[in-house]
Structure 1
Amino acid sequence: MAAFDFSDLPDGTPLLRPESQRPRDPAFQHPVVVGFDGSGASERALAYAAGMARRLGGGLVIVHVANRIPATVWAGCEPPVFIDVPDNRSEALGLELACADHLSDVPWILVERGGDICHEIEDVAKEFAADAIVVGGSSGFVSRLFGSVACRLVKHAKRPVVVIP
């Protein structure tokens, strides 16, 4: 029997419920999710997402995903193996967010993940039943070579994606 089916209360109320059925702060019932890494593009996305959450009367879920890099593996392992790199910027980003004036009147939380950026942002949006995802546009050699986070999210996300230039 699963832990959430166990009931000790006389009225049959379960003591534990699955994560998806736990009560949540009303501000986070259908929040706006924004990807944030401290870059200029993510700063602009954060400002837009905060305004969007304010207009919708909801909360803001800020997602920071730790970096992943391809690991060199002996014997030519295929497909490439990726490793999560410890990201010591999380605490600094949290302090930066706590001091941000444009977040002072919006309920927000910071969610830290490791893994593929697009997958993790969409996964958090799904967990929170987000109304929208906001990300900053990217430019440069790496995004042209591997595809930008914004383009990948637009193609695969199951909810509206707003890309801020």
Structure 2
Amino acid sequence: MSEDQSHQFERGTDGPKVIVVGVDGSDSSLRAAAYAGGLARRQHALLAVVYVQPVLAAGAALGAPVAETTDEIAEGLIAEIREAAERVKDIFDVRWEFHTFRGDPYSGLVSAADELKADAVVVGASEQAGHRIVGSVAVRLVKAGRWPVTVVP
């Protein structure tokens, strides 16, 4: 296909322009980031790496020490995820951004995908046994039916 023909596609039919990938430090989420990086490279899309920082339930937040510890853990995880994203960037040579949202993983990814105007969402398969029965974040994203969702094992 020549350069001239590549510009004849209608918007929305020529592949994703923004790919959101949810990462939480798990092996499956890092595989999802690598997969999404390759997809972004092939599609010349922006890779939006999203970490959803959990918010403690009111009963669990018994004071500043607990909140500070959670923030420290989150900061460590964010640094680890940023490093992984840097490695993916070097391998795939893609444009990427890192975003942090707060909340539960499903709501956080929905907010991220809406705010970033995602054309596609990539997540790792849940590594928790209970999720296979109750339904994982991935299944809930698919059921939302708002974006193509790729689940990476």
Q: TM-score, normalised on structure 2? A: 0.71
Alpha-carbon distance in 1 for matches of 2:87, 2:36? 17
Matches of 2:127 and 2:80, distance apart in 1? 24
Assess if the C-alpha contact under 8 Å between 2:33 and 2:85 holds in 1: no
Residue 47 of structure 1 corresponds to: 34
**Rg bigger for which structure?**
1
SS at match of 2:45: coil
Corresponding letter in the other structure for 1:128: L
Relative to structure 1, is the Cα distance of residues 114 and 142 closer, same or farther in structure 2, using a 3 angstrom cutoff? farther
Q: Residues 102-144 of structure 1, C-alpha deviation per residue, up to 9 Å, x if partnerless?
A: 34x1000110111021111122111222110000111323424
Structure 1 or 2: larger helix share?
2
Name the amino acid aligned to 1:102: I
Q: 2:94 aligned with 1:94, yes or no?
A: no
Aligned length: 126
Pairing of 1:1-165 with structure 2 (within 5 A):
30-72=17-59, 85-86=70-71, 87-88=74-75, 89-100=77-88, 101-103=90-92, 105-144=93-132, 147-165=135-153
Match of 1:13 in 2: none
Q: Please report the TM-score for the alignment, with normalisation by the length of structure 1.
A: 0.66
> Which stretch shifts more, 125-134 or 139-148?
139-148
In structure 1, the gaps of 5 or more residues are: 1-28, 74-82
**1:52-71 CA distance string (max 9 Å, x none):** 11111111000001124444
Larger RCO: Structure 1 or Structure 2 (Cα < 8 Å, ≥ 6 residues apart)?
A: 2
Give the alignment's Cα RMSD to 1 decimal.
Answer: 2.3
State the 4+ residue runs in structure 1 displaced beyond 6 angstroms: none
